[in-house]
Amino acid sequence: DAGVIQSPRHEVTEMGQEVTLRCKPISGHNSLFWYRQTMMRGLELLIYFNNNVPIDDSGMPEDRFSAKMPNASFSTLKIQPSEPRDSAVYFCASRQGLTNTEAFFGQGTRLTVV
Amino acid sequence: AQTVTQSQPEMSVQEAETVTLSCTYDTSENNYYLFWYKQPPSRQMILVIRQEAYKQQNATENRFSVNFQKAAKSFSLKISDSQLGDTAMYFCAFMKRVGAQKLVFGQGTRLTINP
């Protein structure tokens, strides 16, 4: 398997624009996580899905952020409108089942909002 | 809520030396997992080692070992015979065994191995 695949690797956008980050989890994994990494706040969990259903979205900063998982092989994280303080690295991770503890991370998307 | 604290923002050692990274956590849970993840400059998060709280024996993976002190809520990582490729950010993480199984990370320790 190619691992967790995120796209794009880098994104530069202007303030106010819509940004969509994409993630393809490892085949067979039924838990998916979106994390944000910044120097100030470290790694924060934004939302996680189990069997395509959002389980905990308490980390989503505000209504400008939304995440979807329409099927087991695809998830999106959308920011609309984007702001400079959203600049960060966004990671997607997936895990198989509830007893398998290892989460596999994608290589992240570095988002810069200017 | 669980919190994870890494009190060493940066560390630096010479190649082949042994280095210990500290991690403490706070939880009211009795069953949980603890992890150390490595993040090299490539940004990829890589699992280094995992400890199950109900196991008293400290986990070991080649040059990497942990000192797990459940009562003290301490979980340090020891890297023996350090190598240049060990240079990375290291994150300590906590996950409940039952219920919401999400990883809670510490702030990280930047480790530099000098030649």
The torsion of the CA quartet A92, B48, B7, B115, rounded to 10 degrees, works out to -110
Handedness of CA B101, B106, B107, B109 (dihedral sign): negative
Distance CA B48, CA A59 (A): 26
Give Cβ neighbours of residue A78 (< 8 Å, ≥ 6 apart).
A18, A19, A20, A21, A65, A66, A67, A68
Check residue B101 and give its pLDDT: 76
Dump pLDDT digits (tens) for A102-111: 899 999 999 9
Nearest CB to A43; choose among B44, B91, B100: B91
AA letter at A27: S
Strands B64-69 and B74-79: antiparallel
Nearest CB to A101; choose among B45, B91, B95: B95
Q: Which residues of A, range 73-92, sit inside 8 Å of B by Cβ?
A: 89, 91
In order of A24, A38, A58, A76, the CA distances from A81 in angstroms are 24, 19, 20, 15
Q: What is the pLDDT along chain B (115 residues), one digit of tens a residue?
A: 789 999 999 999 999 999 999 999 999 998 899 999 999 998 989 999 999 999 889 999 999 999 999 999 999 999 999 999 999 999 999 998 877 678 999 999 999 999 9
Determine the distance in angstroms separating the CA of A25 from the nearest CA of chain B, rounded to an integer.
Answer: 15
Residue A69, classed as helix, strand or coil, is: strand
Question: Minimal CA–CA distance to A22: which of A65, A62, A78, A72?
Answer: A78
The DSSP-derived string for B43-61 is: ---EEEEEEETT--SPPEE
